[in-house]
Structure 1
Amino acid sequence: MFCSFRRVCLTAAWGLGLVFFAITSAKSGFSQERDDVIPPLDIFKTMASDLQPDGWITFQELDGKQIVSFAPIMSLRCRLKEIRYSVDSKDLDQSFPIPECDREYPFQVEPDSIHQPYIIEFDGGTVQALAVQLTWDDDSKSDIAYYEPCRDVDSTPCAYPLGSNL
């Protein structure tokens, strides 16, 4: 519950940052008629750093399946070039597809789309840890984040950060 409250607070803070960005952009000569301007990459990187302790991904157990959801990081997809990940290793040998950016609403994650295409399903209890690295649109890379499923989480989405101990 604390993680959910924290995410709500972070989302509110990001919203205020976007309002500030819109106001300063208007003062800098951007027309308010432009609705396709994506905020600077630094804002996205800051948001990713703020999200990292709570999880760029979540684990969930449903109907005997282990669901790994990338939805928490999808709000940053407009500046992401690639999401690399690996299951139970540091290899980063797989890539997660990044959905198309909605330039009018760059941070929006559609509620109807939370379950697809943002998830990967495994047999229940299969994944012990997941490594994730983000590649930004300027080809810079994030640090690798490591997560494990929260214990006894059942159907509540959750991830526990492992640091670099995978």
Structure 2
Amino acid sequence: MKLIKIAALCLPLALAPIGSTASAQGMPPEQIKQILDLTKANWVSFRDWQGQELIYFTHLESWKCGIDYVFYGLNDDPIEQEWQLEACDPDNQNVVLKDKPYLELPLGSAQSISVQLIFKDGTKSAVERFEYKSQ
């Protein structure tokens, strides 16, 4: 069922002519929220790398033109820290150019991260909690 919804949301973009202005910014806020809701399992991801724990925000960076703020809290901390999104580039709205689209933490310091989005229309997402699963 979710695959059908994702296909229905993405079909207009796939059918848009090359060079079209169809983009996340041009989508109504309801559609961006639906896409982010359907893909919330991908909002953040964990990776152990060279003695560090990395928490990637790449998915949210790719939808930055539909998000005003990203707040997070590690483990059981309050959701008070802000992930600074790149500025939206109207000509390349889903491109992630940020040098480090991730948090760098000492290995083993985060068992989970909770994330909440504030959308362009001022509404908030539900708080989503992501558990670290050892690799």
| TM class, shorter-length | 0.7 to 0.9
Distance in structure 1 (CA, Å) of the matches to 2:95 and 2:46? 18
Of residues 59, 65, 83, the one that matches 2:70 is 83
Q: Secondary structure at the match of 1:81?
A: strand
TM norm structure 2: 0.81
Say which one has the larger Rg.
Answer: 1
Aligned to 1:42: 30
Q: How many residues align?
A: 129
Percent sequence identity over matched residues? 22
How far apart are residue 43 of structure 1 and its match?
1.6
Q: Which residue of 2 aligns with 1:95?
A: 82
Equivalent of 2:45 in 58, 71, 90? 58
Structure 1 residue 14 displacement after superposition: 5.1
Q: Give the distance between the partners of 1:83 and 1:43, measured in 2 at CA.
A: 18
Query: Cα RMSD between the aligned structures?
Result: 2.7
Q: Deviations over 1:31-58 (max 9, x none)?
A: xx87386211112101111111x23100
1:128 aligns with 2:111: yes
- Looking at structure 1, the residues matched to 106 and 77 of structure 2 have their Cα atoms a distance apart, in angstroms, of 21
- Per-residue CA deviations over 1:74-121 (Å, capped at 9, x if unaligned) read 221001110000011251110000111121232x233xx36x331110
Structure 2 unaligned spans of 5+: 1-5
SS of aligned partner of 2:21: coil
Residue 18 (structure 1) aligns with: 13
Could you tell me which amino acid in structure 1 is paired with residue 128 of structure 2? A
Structure 1 residues 13, 65: closer, same or farther in 2, change over 3 A? farther
Any conservation in 2 of the 1:38–1:103 contact (CA below 8 Å)? no
Given the alignment, which residue of 54, 63, 73 partners 1:67? 54
Aligned partner of 1:158 in structure 2 is: none
Structure 1 SS opposite 2:42 = coil
Kept in 2: contact 1:86–1:93 (CA 8 A): yes
State the TM-score, normalized to the length of structure 1: 0.67
* Contact persistence 1:55–1:147 (CA under 8 A): no
